[in-house]
Structure 1
């Protein structure tokens, strides 16, 4: 839709009341959703062993300059996903997402903050390194307007084990949040919630950034 025309000359921009961006793992929920999701797909014990093996392999690959990601954590993540999810039927993965949705441990203060932004009429966006495959099931009913997540490739009804977008963390997440703001703004004010240090690049873009620490 074309923006409304300012009759006094130029384009009249509409300012929305505001927008709030929330990280997911370690912010809206306790812990990391990816190993939990893989555990629902292949079993928790196998997922634990696969993660330990991916850490060893990822460190080795990264030190030799053969990492699949742009940093060590990204390399470990790519190896873990490839070795555990390649060839899994999409229907089985979606069923695993539904099971995971029943087990997620929500961080109550952040869920309440999200609801407060909704009640104030602000847009709510979740920006996360978690996979876009399972996030819709986990966010269902939470009043989230948009999702920025890591894309997982699906071909012929099966997961390939390869990412089809950048890993939506750190600088990649910040770039995607900046692009979202440019495409959907302007906004009267912006908020951000994330953990340290991974979400600092995103929080630096926003008017009010909050570092979340979940006590265990």
Structure 2
């Protein structure tokens, strides 16, 4: 049986021009009636961890701690509302990457979104793009609520391991497949496929692209912290 070609795409900073987890957190806190300072505090807390050299997988875990006790269905519904607001705002998708994704679909390739974000944020994006598979961080839940824990953030080597598993179960051909990413944590993924595209201006990523003969595409420069969340009325 012939193996299928796939396109593996990181999401934040690659398929979309923003970081979904933070944009949604800003939107969620505003919807819950929190002042803008609540988001700024949480964002600065996580930035400080990164600046201190904390591994990205650990900052990912720290992010999900704020969801402890949140209702899974309510978060999913709010994420749908957030996505619609992002579309209305515009410049959400990196159109060059989306155009490439459509070309992969036209060629019959399996479309796989691979992200450190979580399913609530990614579901409306995947549905809009008609992606086949979503590989992501899966926060722990119990009795319909998030516990605030995530066992395995989909960061770095976790992405490569997930792709290896999918390659076996879906009978994929990695040498003819293509991967897309913007951050050094995407390198384990990009090194697995026969073709790779680096999105953005990260110097280390551009150097890796030069060494491996990968394609480099620009990324739109949009602020990560927008006024999107606070342009709506909080829920009562």
Deviation for aligned residue 1:195 = 1.0
Q: Distance in 2 between the 1:79 and 1:141 partners?
A: 29
* 1:176 has 2:162 as partner: yes
* 1:73 has 2:65 as partner: no
Q: Distance in 2 between the 1:51 and 1:34 partners?
A: 11
Q: TM-score, normalization: structure 2?
A: 0.75
- Structure 1: gaps of 5 or more residues: 1-12, 64-70
- Higher-Rg structure is 1
In terms of fraction of residues, the more helix-rich structure is: 2
* 1:98 has 2:85 as partner: no
* 1:15 has 2:15 as partner: no
Deviating above 4 A after TM superposition, structure 1's stretches of 4 or more consecutive aligned residues are none
For 1:40, what is the secondary structure of its paired residue? Answer: helix
User: 1:1-216 maps to which residues of 2 (within 5 A)?
Assistant: 13-16=1-4, 18-43=5-30, 45=36, 46-56=38-48, 58=49, 71-82=54-65, 84-102=66-84, 103=86, 105-164=92-151, 166-187=152-173, 189-213=176-200, 214-216=219-221
For 1:161, what is the secondary structure of its paired residue? Answer: coil
Deviation for aligned residue 1:167 = 1.0
Compare 187-196 and 144-153 and name the one that shifted more.
187-196
The total of aligned residue pairs comes to 192
| Cα root mean square deviation, aligned | 2.1
Deviation for aligned residue 1:52 = 1.1
- Structure 2: gaps of 5 or more residues: 201-218, 222-236
